C-alpha cells in the first residue's frame, strides 16, 4: 500500500468529522511544555473502537507510525509525533462516552477520550468516587492517564492509575482488538495482559476503553497546611497520621518555602495562610466517613501529638470548602507559577519515602557547586515522589540555562536518585524526553525484556515510534 492511498483510506474511515485540518492541528503537534514540536502526515479523531481498529490496520499495512494522543498534557513528549511523512496522529477526544456504571460492582466503563474530571463527575453523580486526581484533570483524558500510569495527588491512599483499572480494551498494531472489559475483581486465567499496556505510553497499542474501580465517596475532608520542622518531620508525620487515622490520609504533599514563594509572587490570588515564613510545609488531607465533629477531633489529636513531638510548628486548618481550595491552590499551582516565572528544568524523581530527607539534603548540597540555579521542590512526599525542579538564576533565560548548566545539574539529580535506589521517572513517564535516561539507568535485563515485549507486540514498530524503547 503506498502512503497517499493509505492516508486517503484512513480519511475515508473516519469521515470528514474525523479529520483535523492542518490549521487546527497545530496545538496537537506540540507538547504542552513546548519542548517538542512535530509534524504528522494526517491528524485524525476516530469516533469508535471499530474506526480505530480500521485505521491501525491500514497503518500497519502501509508501515505508517501511529501516535495516540489524549488531552496532550504530558510532560515528556510521549504524544508528540515527529516524522512528517510517516506518522498519523490519532486523537482519542471523540471517544468520550461513559459506557456503563455498575454501582454494585463499584465500577465504571469509560472510553479513552473521557476527560478525567468528567469521569470524576460521573462517579460522583452515582454517589461514588473515582479517586485519580491531578492538576491537569480538567483536560487530561483517561486513555492518557492509563497509558502513562498517571499518579497525582491521592496516590498514597488510592494508588496510581494502574491500581484503579480492572480491565481495558486495546486496539493492537495489526488492527485486532483485545477486549478485557469483563470488570471482574478476580480473574487469574493466564498472564495479566492489561499490565503491558498500562504505562506503555502508546508504544504497544491504543487503549480505547477501560473498566475503572470506583470507591465509596468520603463524606468529610479535613485539610491542613502545616509548617513542619523539615523533610524528616514531614515523613514522620505522614506515617503518624496514617497510623492514627486508620489510614485515612488521602494526600500528603510537601512544599518547600522556595516553591511557595514562587506561588505567592506569581499568583495574585495566593495568600500565605501562616503569619511567619517557614522553610518546609506539608499539605495534609484526610478523607473520612462519619460524624464530622469526630473526624475533626481525631485530626486535631493527630496534629496535637505531632506538635508535641516537634514535627509541626504551625498549622492552618481549613474550615470551609473555600479555605480548603485556597490551601490546595498553594500546592496545585506551583507548576503554573514556575511557568509564569519563565519555566523550569523538571525532575520527577522517586525514592523510598524514608530516603526523602537524604535526597533533599544531598541534592541541595551537591547541586550548589555545579552552577547557579534556583530551586523549587515539592511533591507527593507520601509516595516518595518529589518534583525537584530547577529555575534559572534571575535574569537568565531558561534556554540558556538548559544549555549551559542544565545537563550537569540533571545528571547529578538523577545519579543521586539512583544512588539512593530511586527512579528518574516517578509519574511522568519516558516519552521522548527520557529515552536516554531509560537506557542509562535501567538494567540490561530490564531493557532486553522491554525490547522483547515491544518486538512481540509491535513487530513492525508502528506504535508511537521513537518513544520509550521504540
**Binding region for ligand 2HG (CB under 6 A):** 135, 335, 346, 379, 387, 389
Helix axis angle for 231-244 and 356-367, nearest 10°, is 160
Name the residue whose CB lies closest to ligand 2HG.
335
C-alpha 145/C-alpha 232 separation (Å) is 31
* Residue located via cell numbers 507510525: 65
Q: Which is nearer to ligand 2HG, 166 or 426 (CB)?
A: 426
Q: Which residues contact 435 (CB under 8 A, 6 or more apart)?
A: 466, 467, 468, 469
CB 137 within 8 A of CB 163: no
Q: Which is nearer to ligand 2HG, 355 or 387 (CB)?
A: 387
Q: Which is nearer to ligand 2HG, 298 or 387 (CB)?
A: 387
Element (H, E) at 69: strand 65-69
User: Closest approach of Cβ 390 to ligand 2HG, in Å?
Assistant: 10
Q: Which is nearer to ligand 2HG, 130 or 388 (CB)?
A: 388
Residue 7: all three cell numbers together:
492516508
Q: Which is nearer to ligand 2HG, 339 or 404 (CB)?
A: 339
The neighbouring-strand residues paired with 287 are 221
User: Closest approach of Cβ 90 to ligand 2HG, in Å?
Assistant: 25
Q: List strands edge to edge, sheet with 312-317.
A: 312-317, 220-228, 280-288, 249-256, 374-380, 385-391, 348-350
SS3 of 168-198: the string is: EEEECCCCCEEECCCCCCCCCCCCCCHHHHC
User: Closest approach of Cβ 66 to ligand 2HG, in Å?
Assistant: 26
User: Closest approach of Cβ 311 to ligand 2HG, in Å?
Assistant: 23
User: Closest approach of Cβ 218 to ligand 2HG, in Å?
Assistant: 21
Q: Which is nearer to ligand 2HG, 135 or 230 (CB)?
A: 135
The CA-atom distances, in angstroms, between 218 and each of 150, 161, 439 are: 22, 19, 42
User: Closest approach of Cβ 445 to ligand 2HG, in Å?
Assistant: 29
Q: How many CA atoms lie within 13 A of 436 on its CB side?
A: 5
CB 44 within 8 A of CB 121: no
User: Closest approach of Cβ 363 to ligand 2HG, in Å?
Assistant: 15
Q: Which is nearer to ligand 2HG, 46 or 379 (CB)?
A: 379
Tell me the longest C-alpha to C-alpha distance in the chain: 73
C-alpha 233/C-alpha 311 separation (Å) is 5
| Helix, strand or coil, per DSSP, at residue 79 | coil
User: Closest approach of Cβ 42 to ligand 2HG, in Å?
Assistant: 31
Spell out where 233-291 has E strands.
249-256, 280-288
The 3-state DSSP composition of the chain as helix, strand, coil percent (nearest 5) reads 40, 20, 35
Q: Which residues contact 310 (CB under 8 A, 6 or more apart)?
A: 229, 233
User: Closest approach of Cβ 71 to ligand 2HG, in Å?
Assistant: 14
User: Closest approach of Cβ 380 to ligand 2HG, in Å?
Assistant: 7
Amino acid at each position: 500500500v503506498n502512503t497517499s492511498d493509505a492516508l486517503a483510506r484512513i480519511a475515508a474511515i473516519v469521515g470528514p468529522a474525523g479529520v483535523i485540518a492542518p490549521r487546527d492541528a497545530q496545538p496537537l503537534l506540540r507538547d504542552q511544555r513546548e519542548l517538542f514540536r512535530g509534524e504528522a502526515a494526517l491528524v485524525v479523531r476516530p469516533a469508535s473502537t471499530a474506526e480505530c481498529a480500521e485505521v491501525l490496520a491500514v497503518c500497519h499495512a502501509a508501515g505508517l507510525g501511529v501516535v495516540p494522543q489524549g488531552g496532550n498534557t504530558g510532560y515528556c513528549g510521549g504524544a508528540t509525533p515527529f516524522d512528517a511523512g510517516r506518522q498519523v496522529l490519532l486523537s482519542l477526544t471523540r471517544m468520550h462516552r461513559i459506557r456503563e456504571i455498575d454501582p454494585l460492582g463499584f465500577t465504571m466503563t469509560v472510553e479513552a477520550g473521557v476527560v478525567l474530571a468528567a469521569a470524576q463527575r460521573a462517579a460522583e453523580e452515582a454517589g461514588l468516587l473515582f479517586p485519580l486526581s491531578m492538576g491537569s484533570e480538567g483536560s487530561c483524558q483517561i486513555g492518557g492517564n492509563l497509558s502513562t500510569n498517571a499518579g497525582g495527588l491521592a496516590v498514597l491512599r488510592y494508588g496510581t492509575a494502574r491500581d484503579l483499572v480492572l480491565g481495558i480494551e486495546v486496539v493492537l498494531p495489526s488492527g485486532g482488538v483485545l477486549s478485557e472489559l469483563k470488570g471482574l475483581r478476580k480473574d487469574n486465567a493466564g498472564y495479566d495482559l492489561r499490565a503491558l499496556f498500562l504505562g506503555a505510553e502508546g508504544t504497544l497499542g491504543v487503549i480505547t476503553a477501560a473498566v475503572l474501580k470506583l470507591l465509596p465517596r468520603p463524606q468529610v475532608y479535613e485539610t491542613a497546611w502545616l509548617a513542619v520542622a523539615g523533610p524528616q518531620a514531614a515523613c514522620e508525620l505522614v506515617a503518624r497520621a496514617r497510623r492514627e487515622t486508620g489510614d485515612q490520609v488521602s494526600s500528603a504533599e510537601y512544599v518547600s518555602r522556595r516553591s511557595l514563594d514562587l506561588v505567592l509572587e506569581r499568583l495574585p490570588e495566593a495568600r500565605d495562610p501562616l503569619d511567619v515564613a517557614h522553610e518546609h510545609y506539608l499539605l495534609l488531607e484526610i478523607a473520612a466517613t462519619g460524624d464530622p465533629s469526630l473526624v475533626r477531633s481525631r485530626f486535631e489529636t493527630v496534629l496535637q501529638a505531632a506538635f508535641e513531638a516537634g514535627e509541626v510548628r504551625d498549622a492552618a486548618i481549613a474550615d470551609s470548602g473555600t479555605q480548603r481550595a485556597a490551601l490546595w491552590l498553594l500546592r496545585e499551582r506551583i507548576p503554573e507559577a514556575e511557568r509564569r516565572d519563565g519555566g523550569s528544568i523538571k525532575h520527577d524523581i522517586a525514592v523510598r519515602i524514608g530516603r526523602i530527607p537524604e535526597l533533599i539534603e544531598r541534592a541541595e548540597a551537591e547541586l550548589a557547586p555545579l552552577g547557579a540555579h534556583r530551586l523549587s521542590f515539592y511533591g507527593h512526599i507520601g509516595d516518595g515522589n518529589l518534583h525537584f525542579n530547577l529555575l534559572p538564576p534571575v535574569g537568565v533565560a531558561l534556554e540558556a540555562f538548559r544549555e549551559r548548566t542544565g545537563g550537569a545539574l540533571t545528571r547529578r539529580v538523577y545519579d543521586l536518585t539512583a544512588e539512593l535506589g530511586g527512579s528518574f521517572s516517578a509519574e511522568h513517564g519516558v516519552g521522548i524526553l527520557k529515552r536516554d535516561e531509560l537506557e542509562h539507568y535501567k538494567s540490561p535485563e530490564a531493557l532486553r525484556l522491554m525490547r522483547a515485549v515491544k518486538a512481540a507486540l509491535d513487530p513492525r514498530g508502528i506504535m508511537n515510534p521513537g518513544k520509550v524503547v521504540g
